[in-house]
């Protein structure tokens, strides 16, 4: 009875393809039949040079002049081939960059920098010779391959890549002030400083305890995080009054526009316009209208995890966490930090 699962005709051999186990067996058989290298090459469809190299690879060295010369063994040829292949890979460049690799590990583990921030910052500030550094792509490849001191779980952003569907904004059923629809283009184009996005970060009890009030300057990406006692409009306005006292008469130059969502904690936020800033409210359920603030709130979660009670974090810890974010180099800022860019902005404001 014929077997339907096998064929007796060998598939056509591709040019440049390495010899397979079956072809080595054919070489061994044909060589014992007295075929020449060219005849063997013609039979299996390869170069005579390939046959010659394979015969040398699979023939053990002769130990003495006595006795019969050793012949080719397909099994030996396969074993030598695999041993050579295991040593043929290019050595990892990162193995020669130990100082750089150790520095990157320290920045990621202690300051929660991204691999790209590490590579870009080191290159911009010439912390190491170029030949002793590797690029971002190589760092990620080493992490995913498991050949680097860091683990993928220490790079949470690498596990968060999601596809987001486009959605149409809903109309506000309640109006606390001007809609984002009438916000000037300069507030979203990031061509000048002074345009902010705001939100609150809640803890374990969904805002029924202390929360974090956050603001982000869109061009410099400077992040402000303040712990407030509750998710109420009174607590938010108290935090804004503290910022007003800090910047004084320059408040309207530092805070030209502020865009927040329609949560009840921002019910009285339009009062900030009395200090010279313009306030706009995003549409309901459209966090993508404040993308930078939402993104930084996600980065902030590395210091205050979701589900953790914010009551367990001191106000000083919240401020220092924001400082850590502001001291992190960014690729879109040419690997400068939000902190130094915001300081330059404040210098220009107070020098005017």
- Average confidence (pLDDT) over 22-33: 92
The position carrying tokens 């008469």 is 249
Find the helix packing angle between 37-44 and 21-32, rounded to 10°. Answer: 140
* 161 compared with 65, residue with greater pLDDT: 65
Which has the closest alpha carbon to 121: 343, 327, 309? 327
Cα separation of 155 and 149, whole Å?
12
- What global pTM score does this model have? 0.69
The answer on pLDDT for 170 being more than 60 is no
Give the H or E element holding residue 224: strand 223-228
Strand partners, 258: 196, 279
Can you give 65-129 as a three-state secondary structure string? CCCCCCCCCHHHHHHHHHHHHHCCCCCCHHHHCHHHHHHHHHHHHHHCCCHHHHHHHHHHCCCCC
* 187 compared with 173, residue with greater pLDDT: 187
Long-range contacts of 138-146 (CB under 8 A, 24+ apart): 138/93, 138/94, 139/94, 139/104, 139/115, 140/115, 142/92, 142/94, 143/115
Q: Could you report the per-residue pLDDT of 299-349, keeping only the tens digit for each?
A: 999 999 988 999 999 999 999 999 999 999 999 999 999 999 999 999 999
Cα separation of 254 and 346, whole Å?
7
**What is the rounded end-to-end Cα distance, in angstroms, of the chain?**
96
- Yes or no: say if 218 and 256 are a contact pair by the CB < 8 Å rule: no
Distances (CA, A) of 66 to 58, 60, 69, 133: 20, 15, 8, 57
Domain edges within the chain: 21-59+72-86, 93-154, 180-351
Q: Could you report the per-residue pLDDT of 237-281, keeping only the tens digit for each?
A: 999 999 999 999 999 999 999 999 988 899 999 999 999 999 999
Which has the closest alpha carbon to 27: 16, 39, 12? 39
- Rg of the Cα trace of the chain? 33
Q: Does domain 180-351 have CATH number 3.30.420.10?
A: yes
């Amino acid at each position: 009875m014929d077997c339907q699962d096998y064929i007796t005709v060998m598939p056509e051999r591709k040019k440049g393809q390495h010899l397979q186990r079956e072809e080595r067996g054919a070489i061994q058989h044909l060589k014992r039949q007295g075929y020449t290298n060219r005849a063997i090459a013609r039979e299996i469809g390869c170069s005579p040079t390939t046959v010659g190299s394979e015969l040398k690879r699979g023939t053990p060295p002769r130990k003495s002049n006595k006795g019969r010369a050793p012949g080719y063994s397909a099994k030996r040829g396969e074993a030598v081939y695999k041993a050579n292949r295991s040593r043929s890979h290019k050595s990892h460049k990162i193995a020669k960059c130990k100082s750089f690799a150790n520095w990157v590990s320290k920045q990621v583990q202690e300051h929660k920098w991204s691999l790209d921030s590490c590579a870009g910052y080191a290159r911009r500030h010439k912390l190491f010779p170029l030949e002793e550094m590797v690029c971002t792509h190589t760092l990620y490849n080493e992490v995913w391959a498991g050949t680097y001191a860091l683990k993928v779980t220490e790079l949470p952003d690498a596990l968060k890549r999601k596809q987001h569907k486009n959605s149409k904004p809903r109309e506000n059923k309640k109006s606390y002030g001007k809609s984002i629809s009438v916000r000037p283009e300069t507030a979203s184009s990031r061509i000048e400083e002074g345009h902010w996005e705001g939100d609150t970060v809640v803890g374990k009890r969904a805002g029924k305890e202390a929360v974090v009030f956050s603001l982000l300057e869109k061009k410099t990406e400077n992040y402000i995080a303040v712990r407030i006692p509750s998710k109420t409009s009174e607590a938010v306005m108290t935090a804004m009054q503290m910022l007003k006292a800090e910047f004084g008469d320059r408040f309207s130059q530092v805070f030209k526009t502020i865009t927040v969502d329609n949560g009840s904690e921002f019910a009285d936020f339009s009062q900030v316009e009395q200090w010279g800033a313009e306030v706009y409210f995003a549409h309901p359920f459209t966090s993508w209208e404040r993308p930078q603030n939402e993104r930084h709130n996600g980065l902030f979660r590395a210091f205050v995890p979701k589900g953790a009670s914010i009551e367990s974090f001191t106000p000083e810890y919240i401020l220092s966490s924001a400082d850590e974010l502001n001291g992190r180099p960014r690729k879109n800022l040419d690997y400068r930090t939000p902190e130094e860019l915001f300081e330059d902005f404040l210098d220009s404001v107070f020098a005017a």
